[in-house]
Amino acid sequence: MKLTFLGTGTSFGIPIIGCDCAVCRSPDPRDRRTRIGAVIESDGGTRLLIDTPPELRLQLVQAGIDRVDAVFFTHDHADHIHGIDDVRAITVRQRAPLPMYAEPEVLARLAQRFPYIFDERMLPLPGTSKPEGEARPIRDGDVVPVGDAMVEAISVPHGRMNVLAFRVGALGFVTDAKSVPAEAIARLRGVRVLVLNALFHRPHPTHLSISEAVAVAAEIGAERTYLIHLTHETSHAELEAELPAGVQPAYDGLVVEV
């Protein structure tokens, strides 16, 4: 299985508009972070897209990915969904709607905000096209097959709401979590590669801090843990130097074999 990090930054992205800090001006390409997205490719070639961030078109072109078999949404905050229109290039090419998995209430809000994607009655004018999504509800504890991949949905808290983390075989993907409860940790144990959000060194009301993420990683015990949803307060090199063995920051474009 292969994991491609499309985007690894916080909702602002890095560099931040109007910011003149050292990280936003950094020449290190690993410090240029777009919003969260990833592609998981199974051994049999099934490709799963995690979220549709605002830079999705640029991310997929940069990664050389021209098709996916399904989209799995963690939640519907803007930095995780506002590139959804970019799936048009995929659905037009395959001439079929793209299965889109999310919690029922998330699917309902997506259909309200992007009705042209989900409503098959909204036909494009002759000579034009539109992105097409097929809504497929998924809930905490569900395990769904897509091609030769099995995807388990795991609910984790994100401030006043819950979001979905996903386990695909030996890979665990957790973003935008404030904490990872004991039940979720138990369901993630045994993964070889773990992806975790880590915002600041200081506590945050809706996200794991860097130290909290390191503690969660130790509880789950994956061979390798990659931190995402990173901000401009810590450069890649600085964070890499301070993290314990087995934990490292991811960066846009990083490809990991699981």
Q: What DSSP assignment string belongs to 36-50?
A: -EEEEE-TT--EEEE
Grouping H, G, I as helix, E, B as strand and the rest as coil, residue 225 is strand
Q: What pLDDT, on the 0 to 100 scale, is given for residue 59?
A: 98
The mean pLDDT of 89-102, rounded to a whole number, is 96
CATH top-level class for 2-257?
Answer: alpha beta
Burial (0-12, 13-18, 19+ Cβ within 10 Å), 140: middle
Q: Are 177 and 156 in contact (CB under 8 A)?
A: yes
Beta carbons of 222 and 213 less than 8 angstroms apart: no
How far is 191 from 196, CA to CA, in rounded Å?
13
Least confident range from 9-13, 107-111, 122-126, 141-145: namely: 122-126
Q: How confident is the model at residue 208 (pLDDT cuts 50, 70, 90)?
A: very high
Domain ranges of the chain: 2-257
Give 175's Cβ-side CA count (13 Å radius). Answer: 28
Residue 177 confidence (pLDDT): 97
98 pLDDT tier (thresholds 50, 70, 90): very high
Query: pLDDT tens across 144-169, in order?
Result: 999 999 999 999 999 999 999 999 99
Q: How far apart are CA 135 and CA 166, in angstroms?
A: 18
Give tens-digit pLDDT for 217-253. Answer: 999 999 999 999 999 999 999 999 999 999 999 999 9
Q: What are residue 48's DSSP bridge partners?
A: 40, 70
